[in-house]
Structure 1
């Protein structure tokens, strides 16, 4: 099923805050998780996968699919992420598409391989960027209103997926996230320092290192190795910093950062 770009959908104010968080996480390990949360607040879905396709031009008879992130139920659980009808639609496309596949009638509600699927696709040359949304077969199929909402969101989310893939610097392997480089970390440190001054909050040097590292896309184990401390120490520094900032956890830290 394909829809045109026209829609009467109007986002709520909370969407803009979530979008700010998603932008802040572009190129990071939590990008797909944040996108899932953003979409779930607009349309009920159980999971998503984002991917980049490179078609074999000019014949477009083959494709290479690189997964850029997963959250919740995803293609690995529901079967092939490149069913033949999807590949054929992607090969022929010239404009952004929305493609729906419903779970077959009588499918087992516990069988994830029969989930309802909605694929949002953008294109540029031989490149395709895909957001695949999944809903368990025990739930109803996507309504026209929900498909319209997803189509409206795609105009904002698909360019971010393209940028996310560029920041990952993938090399053909399946990747989920990547931390910022040294120059980007330096800029992030400066911005974080200004936010602390604005909020009149003082953090220890180690607390600041942990916050900047997490904001830059590092995982707790990666930070622990970099700082030569235990994972539990990194989590303790985060908790102390979060308490001083009046937030909770990594997501609260991101929200505090983007709110400024």
Structure 2
């Protein structure tokens, strides 16, 4: 049986407050519901924690009878040693037991077992898991046993980041259930303004919020990794003006700062996307 370490995924005290992180996060948000969602999520995390592959799953449980009804794959990306990771459904597997009994979001670490007959056990794994009713959403990061396992600092980082990644996965699953989106055209980067604008305007419409043109420009600029001085130069205004536009937009959206803006985009507030 593989070693398992379960930690409650408590809210983070900090997030990577830098432009590259939010530029990558903007792309992940824009790819929600698309085939390349997992690829961009992997690219985002791999900037700070080396990851070989990521697998995304949604599990439906029969909790009274302690069994898995369905495991739906929501995407995978990376250098899989053989084939994409499939979560075990056996009732005695430690990962399954932790997911069954959970209440709050979890980080579950599983160390690789050398020479295990099960290919699944030959990987260093870190699973981020959230729960709503009888459903579990799972982000599974893995490395081959030939590499080092996840360090304590890396696990701590992923635990903090789970507050952003897990709601984003739930939103992705919600979009796939409602109306599967076609994959983006080959070679077309969703970081282009028109695509992020589309997701941003849809979010504004959902919450019935009206922002001025300048407030929209500042919000979109920050979501794509722009800094206050860069936006001030682009819009030919003072830094203080950019900060004023952001404060006005934040008040209308009910958020605080760039991280609050990113959380609003993925629907973690009261007006967020449903997952039913």
Task: Report matched runs for 1:111-260 at 5 Å.
Answer: 114-169=122-177, 178-179=181-182, 217-220=183-186, 249-251=187-189, 253-257=190-194, 258=196, 260=221
RMSD: 2.8
Task: State the number of aligned residues.
Answer: 187
Deviates more, 1:67-76 or 1:123-132: 67-76
Deviations, residues 17-43 of structure 1 (Å, cap 9, x unaligned) = 111111111001110000000010111
Query: 1:11 and 2:7 equivalent?
Result: no
Partner of 1:102: 111
Task: Report the 3-state secondary structure (helix = DSSP H, G, I; strand = E; otherwise coil) of the residue aligned with 2:7.
Answer: coil
C-alpha displacement of 1:162: 0.8
Distance 1:73-1:60 versus aligned 2 partners, 3 A rule? farther
Deviations, residues 107-140 of structure 1 (Å, cap 9, x unaligned) = 79xx786111111000011010000001121110
Gaps of 5+ in 2: 197-219, 222-276
* Partner Cα distance (1:24, 1:74) in 2: 25
Deviations, residues 53-85 of structure 1 (Å, cap 9, x unaligned) = 000132232331000000014597276422611
Distance 1:74-1:96 versus aligned 2 partners, 3 A rule? farther
Query: 1:68 and 2:80 equivalent?
Result: no
Instruction: Give the TM-score, by structure 2 length.
Output: 0.60
* Partner Cα distance (1:160, 1:37) in 2: 15
C-alpha displacement of 1:250: 2.1
Q: Is the contact made by 2:81 and 2:144 (CA closer than 8 Å) also made in structure 1?
A: no
Distance 1:6-1:166 versus aligned 2 partners, 3 A rule? closer
* Partner Cα distance (2:159, 2:148) in 1: 19
Task: Report matched runs for 1:14-25 at 5 Å.
Answer: 14-25=20-31
Q: Is the contact made by 1:78 and 1:112 (CA closer than 8 Å) also made in structure 2?
A: no
* Partner Cα distance (1:42, 1:107) in 2: 29
* Partner Cα distance (1:85, 1:32) in 2: 25
Stretches of 4+ moved more than 3 A in 1? 6-10, 73-76, 105-108, 217-220, 255-260
C-alpha displacement of 1:10: 3.8
Gaps of 5+ in 1: 172-176, 180-216, 221-248
Instruction: Give the TM-score, by structure 1 length.
Output: 0.64
Bigger helix share: 1
